[in-house]
Amino acid sequence: MHTTFKIFITTLITTLFFSVSGYCQLDYNYGLNTKGFRLGIGGGGTVLQTHFAQNPIKPLFVANLDYDFNPYLSIGVEYQKGTLHGDDSKGYLFVKSSDIEFSAVNLNLKVSVGQFVNYQTSTVLGEAIKRFYAGVGIGGISEPLKTKKFQYNLANRPDPTFSSETKKNPIYVAIPLNFGTNINLRGLFGMSDKFELNPNYQFTYVNTYYLDGFRTSTTNSHLKGFYNALTLSLKYKF
């Protein structure tokens, strides 16, 4: 965990000081938003990627607070609350299905195309492309034991070394990768340049064998967890 955190901090500092565009330009939204803070609330869906072959989409709530150094470079904190669900409808596993409620908090750095490629555009699509970003972060995900629900396929015998998470409130290290853009909504609610839409795709690696609540074998199963999240947030510019 300490090594991963050091790598993240090193990447953050390097990006801030060596990006080709001026990152000190705070008042870039036509002189209206001088602080660069953005508060967003939204929702979407999650898809679990672990042992299960079937991974239905489950609802997800997100809230975030970002600080934009300029239109193309930002750092922010995101909170997620949702459910991870997996199904084994073909009966291959001892665990037939799992439902796990989780909460996650991540610190994310995002860099857009416009930070490296400077071109003029006057269209919504052109602006969205210029603000298309990739990002990396680090954080934690909590899965309280009391929220986990399992169904079992009793016709299948579990491996002798089958195990499930026993900690009441485990917190795992999470590393999210983000891809998305920001679309200005000028004139929304009669306000000039105060809102924007943020569609975002996030792929998150979680450093545990128990993201779905169990491990098929402590000797043979070395699968750690991933989940995907697709969200749409409405952001207010301070």
Q: What does the angle CA 172 – CA 175 – CA 179 come to, to the nearest 5 degrees?
A: 145
In this model, does residue 132 exceed pLDDT 80? yes
Is the predicted pLDDT of residue 216 greater than 60, yes or no? yes
Q: What is the helix (H) or strand (E) element at residue 129, kind and residue range?
A: helix 124-130
> Tokens 């986990």, residue?
148
Give residue 211's pLDDT.
Answer: 85
**pLDDT value at position 177?**
97
Measured distance CA(48)–CA(230) in Å, rounded: 12
Question: For the residues of 8-72, what is the DSSP string, one character each?
Answer: HHHHHHHHHHH-SS-TT----STTS-SS-EEEEEEEEEEEEESS-SB---EEEEEEEEEEEEETT
Mean pLDDT in residue range 141-150: 77
Residue 154 CB contacts under 8 Å (≥ 6 apart), including other chains: none
Does position 99 have pLDDT exceeding 80, yes or no?
Answer: yes
Over 70: is that where the pLDDT of 237 sits? yes
What is the CATH code of the structural domain delimited by 2-237? Answer: 2.40.160.20
pLDDT of residue 95: 74
Average pLDDT over residues 134-138: 97
The single-letter DSSP state of residue 4 is: H
Contact partners, residue 151, CB within 8 Å, separation at least 6: 95, 96, 97, 98
Q: Are 98 and 213 in contact (CB under 8 A)?
A: yes
Q: Which of 73-82, 91-100, 118-127, 133-142 shows the lowest per-residue confidence on average (mean pLDDT)? A: 91-100
Return the pLDDT at 205: 95
Q: What are the residues whose beta carbons fall under 8 Å from the beta carbon of 197, sequence distance 6 or more?
A: 182, 183, 185, 232, 233, 234, 235
Question: Is a pLDDT exceeding 50 seen at residue 73?
Answer: yes
Write down the pTM of the prediction: 0.78
Q: Which residue has the higher pLDDT, 55 or 205?
A: 205
Which residues, 6+ apart, have CB-to-CB distance to 169 below 8 Å?
A: 142, 144, 145
Give the mean pLDDT of the chain. Answer: 79
Whether 19 has a pLDDT exceeding 80, the answer reads: no
Domain residue ranges of the chain, discontinuous segments joined by +: 2-237
Bridge partners, 168 (sequence order): none
pLDDT at 221: 64
